[in-house]
Chains A and B, each alone.
Chain A
Amino acid sequence: MESTQIAKKILIVDDEKDLRDAMSMALGYEGFETIVAADGKEGLIRALVEKPDLVFLDILMPVMDGIEMLKLLRKDPWGKTVPVIVMTAIDSMDKIAEVIEQGGNEYLPKSRTTLGAIVQKAKERLNA
């Protein structure tokens, strides 16, 4: 990514600090600007305030889970169209149907996905 271009902004919402840090670092190396949130409530606020170009969203989180955040995000005029990639753990694979219903654009099984694949997905979605 050229340094003259405005960096695309990606929001990472995950309650696991180690995972969101690793994602943030990998996406940062590729020139993306990343913002992070530890739960759905914080994620929703950061999304509506910062208006990122893409959201990586975990499902099982304290305070507010990913599905609830997605539901509320899609009610917002801006939030209606922002691409959201849902990161599912095997424990929340059952929620895929609900994720699609609530407007998730894509889902990735977290434990089976490499960081390289996540970066690749971000590039595809943002045409970067």
Chain B
Amino acid sequence: MHDFFVSKKIAFEAIGVWCVLTGMYVFVTRTLDIDVSFAFHVSISISIVLLSLLVYQSLRASMNARFLAQSMVKDALLYSHELFTEVYQAGPVPYVLVDVNGTVESLNRAAMRLFKTSEEVCKGTNIFDAVESENTVRIGLCREYLKQGIAVNDEEVRVMQVGGTHRWVMLSIFSFTDSARTQKGLMTFVDITKQKQVDAAKTEFVSLASHQLRTPLTTMKWNMELLHSTNPNAFTGEQQELYGRVMQGLVRMDLLVTDFLNASRFELGTLTVDRTQFDLTTFVYELMQDHRAHAEERQIQIEEVWGERPYLIYSDLKLLTMILGNLLSNAVKYTRDGGHVRLEVMREAEWVIFKVIDTGIGIPPDEHEQIFSKIFRASNARAQVAEGTGLGLYIVREAVTVLGGTISFVSQIGVGTTFTVALPNEPFTRML
């Protein structure tokens, strides 16, 4: 567009010069009576020379402008590259540039500090050799995502530093194609070690507090019981009611402390899995007894149904108690008076399947995804029952995961909910 205007200007200038020269020619030839043909040739020659000069100058100006523009673009590119290099190298976030397999091509200074290494040492090694996760499947997924060019966002992993120490980081991977059309990955590692330490300290505090609360709670419960059992007839009706309230409060507090302690143990990873072989029939019977009294108080029919009966199970007793205890407790708690709660137990190949079915209030569909989150209670559950820590289903999911099982549910508002837990029972199968 610019060139077009320059050419137009030149044309106008040329026409202007031509008109002036023509005017001069007419004036000079008429006043001085000069030979017309000679004067004509002279004026034409001068015009051509002037015109050529004009064209030359315009072209030169145009070329200068183009050169200047190119030079500016070059400078801008160079500046942009330098800026990018500076940001990449001196940025506070550790960056590692890798190929599709995770082989390191370059890393910035922050990454060198994070890994306690130099680019020369790190170049050519596989980044995934220095990354760990509590869930090894997650690392495999990150590798696969990198290969396929899928972004990875905020994956909590541990990076192993040279010297054997480690840091907790949030790993993100962004895939792109370079100028040679080769797919690369840019990895960012945001250090969250301090945050993890604070979290661990908080969890440890909860664990310690829960642990310390346990003994005085039991002492209070047992002594209240002694007080009542030694003077059962000495209590007036009002005292009896007050006694009941204290006992109820103590039982609730005990459940809260247990939930906090269990949740903190999962978080701290201090919960060990001790699988033993035990009689599932007795276990289920005793578990149902624990919930029967509460259910019957509210005319809720509670029953157990057995499919192909797995008499023995090879599992962790305390984790199974947490899983089924919490699910049954929720089922009774959120079922209206006169409803039904059923526990189904069956065997499917190497798995034992437990289904806890209730005719309760159901879980709102838009809250299904959050139901296993920590400290989350469904809106209708909060409206219906005031008490509850929001830790029950979190504990259930963690316990199921630790045991290598799966959990799922279907729920309909006002109709009920069915939780299905599948736990592996391999040694039992071998025993047969």
Contacts and interface: CB of A to CB of B under 8 A. Distances in A.
B271 interface: yes
Contacts, number: 65
The 4 closest A-B pairs by CB, nearest first: A93-B318, A22-B222, A18-B219, A97-B274
> In which size bucket is the chain B interface?
20 to 34
5 contacts: A18-B219, A90-B318, A95-B274, A111-B218, A115-B226
Contact of A26 (B217, B229, B276): B229
A23 interface: yes
A16 interface: yes
Contacts of B182: none
Contact of B222 (A96, A97, A100, A115): A115
Interface in B221-256: 221-223, 225-226, 229-230, 254
Contact of A94 (B219, B223, B261, B274): B274
A114 B225 contact: yes
Given A23-B222, A115-B226, A116-B225, 7 more contacts: A16-B215, A16-B219, A18-B216, A89-B215, A91-B214, A111-B217, A114-B221
Interface in B181-235: 211, 214-219, 221-223, 225-226, 229-230
Contacts of B359: none
Contacts of B258: 90, 111
B37 interface: no
Contacts of B274: 94-98
Contacts of B317: 93, 96
Interface of A: 16, 18-19, 22-23, 25-26, 29, 89-91, 93-98, 100, 110-112, 114-116
Contacts of A91: 211, 214, 261
A15 B222 CA distance: 16
Contacts of B257: 111
Interface string B246-280: 00000000100110011000000001101110000
Contact of A96 (B215, B225, B229, B276): B276
B225 A29 contact: no
A111 B321 CA distance: 14
B218 A29 contact: no
A91 to B, nearest CB: 6
A10 to B, nearest CB: 16
A114 B250 CA distance: 12
Contacts of B254: 111-112
A90 B226 contact: no
B229 A90 contact: no
A77 to B, nearest CB: 28
Contacts of B261: 90-91
A79 B146 CA distance: 63
Contact of B218 (A19, A25, A116): A19
A113 to B, nearest CB: 9
A94 B271 contact: yes
Interface in B294-334: 317-318
B78 to A, nearest CB: 64
A110 B258 CA distance: 12
Contacts of A116: 225, 229
Given A94-B274, A94-B318, A19 B225 contact: no
B60 to A, nearest CB: 89
A112 B272 CA distance: 21
B229 A22 contact: no
B315 to A, nearest CB: 11
A91 B268 CA distance: 13
Contacts of B215: 16, 18-19, 89
A100 B274 CA distance: 12
B334 to A, nearest CB: 22
A89 B214 contact: yes
Given A90-B262, A93-B318, A94-B271, A22 B219 contact: yes
